[in-house]
Amino acid sequence: MSQPPARPEPVERAPANIPRHVAIIMDGNGRWAKQRGLPRIEGHRRGVETVRTTTFAARDLGVKVLTLYAFSVENWKRPQDEVGGLMTLLEFYLKKELKTFIRDRVRLLTIGRTEELPASVQELLRETIAATKDFHDYTLVLALNYGARTEVIDAAQAYAAAVADGREKLNDRSWETFSRYLYTAELPEPDLVIRTSGESRISNFLLLQAAYAEFVFSPVLWPDFTKDDLAAAIADYAKRERRYGLTSEQLKPPAGVSVSA
């Protein structure tokens, strides 16, 4: 009997149907408010409610890591009162959620240059991260003062420092090594990236980590985004074949070989 064709090295993949890591570009708060004749900050306030419901909806649906893009490095350029309002909302949110995170065993992490956030926010982040560090079943990652380009600069700088003092080799040139210097070092790569509000762009979010992510662009404005919308995005994801550069045939087991879960 002839040997089955050689199969490529297995690529680490998430379970077929449920994305392990979902990352969301929460967009549309301003338009939601404008449609109602309300100030933009009211849209952000409602957006925080959606953050709460989505955190638990994602876990109910079997997601292990949820990353939410809450504030980009470019968002500092918005009007000062909006930036100030967003920082105040973030403070309120963190103060209120600490107990809930502990009760529901949610680990909080951040990605981004959090050292440039207001001191009061930094302090709350430190406290919440420390209080939830031993929870491992479900992780909420807030992208705060995050930009993929600044992330690459920070990673390159840390990598260069490691080379200079002999912890890394300059000629290593492997993604596995370099990616340990990204903010996301301890996280799996996102499987599914969702953007709300009908915009189809990535806006400097997880550019490297999303190299093989699936994308869903939802027309729903973030304050209106529900568990059903999240479930629909996950259902869409589940229908897709992630090929990681291989052919469809390579991903299927050779005839006669049964694959156990």
Per CB under 6 A, residues contacting ligand IPE are 25-31, 69-72, 75, 86, 197, 199, 201, 203
Cα distances from 110 to residues 71, 118, 127, 253, in angstroms, run 11, 15, 12, 39
To ligand IPE, the closest distance from the beta carbon of 13 in angstroms equals 27
Comparison of 120 and 203: residue with beta carbon closer to ligand IPE: 203
Minimal CB distance to Mg ion: which residue?
27
CA-only gyration radius of the chain, Å: 20
Residue 25 binds: one of Mg ion, ligand IPE, none (C-beta under 5 to 8 A by kind): ligand IPE
Catalytic residue among 27, 29, 191, 229: 27
To Mg ion, the closest distance from the beta carbon of 223 in angstroms equals 12
Residue 123 binds: one of Mg ion, ligand IPE, none (C-beta under 5 to 8 A by kind): none
To ligand IPE, the closest distance from the beta carbon of 235 in angstroms equals 23
To Mg ion, the closest distance from the beta carbon of 88 in angstroms equals 19
Minimal CB distance to ligand IPE: which residue?
30
Quote the Cα angle for 217-182-13, to 5°: 55
To ligand IPE, the closest distance from the beta carbon of 103 in angstroms equals 27
Half-sphere exposure of 195 (CA within 13 A, CB side): 14
Catalytic residue among 17, 29, 60, 75: 75
Comparison of 91 and 104: residue with beta carbon closer to ligand IPE: 91
Distance, in Å, from the CA atom of 238 to the CA atom of 236, rounded to the nearest integer, reads: 5
Q: Which residues between 9 and 28 bind Mg ion (CB under 5 A)?
A: 27
Fill in the amino acid letter for 19: P
Comparison of 27 and 189: residue with beta carbon closer to Mg ion: 27
- Is residue 145 annotated as a catalytic residue, yes or no? no
Assess contact for 142 and 115: CB atoms under 8 A: no
Assess contact for 4 and 235: CB atoms under 8 A: no
Assess contact for 179 and 159: CB atoms under 8 A: no
- Is residue 224 annotated as a catalytic residue, yes or no? no
Comparison of 63 and 86: residue with beta carbon closer to Mg ion: 86
Q: How many CB atoms neighbour CB 14 within 10 A?
A: 17
Compute the Cα dihedral for 8, 13, 17, 23 and give only its sign: negative
Site string for Mg ion, 25-44 (x = CB under 5 A): --x-----------------
Half-sphere exposure of 207 (CA within 13 A, CB side): 11
Comparison of 51 and 124: residue with beta carbon closer to Mg ion: 51
10 Å CB burial of residue 66 (0-12, 13-18, 19+) is: buried
Residue 159 binds: one of ligand IPE, Mg ion, none (C-beta under 5 to 8 A by kind): none
Q: Which residues does the annotation mark as catalytic?
A: 27, 75
Which residues bind to Mg ion, rule: CB under 5 A? 27
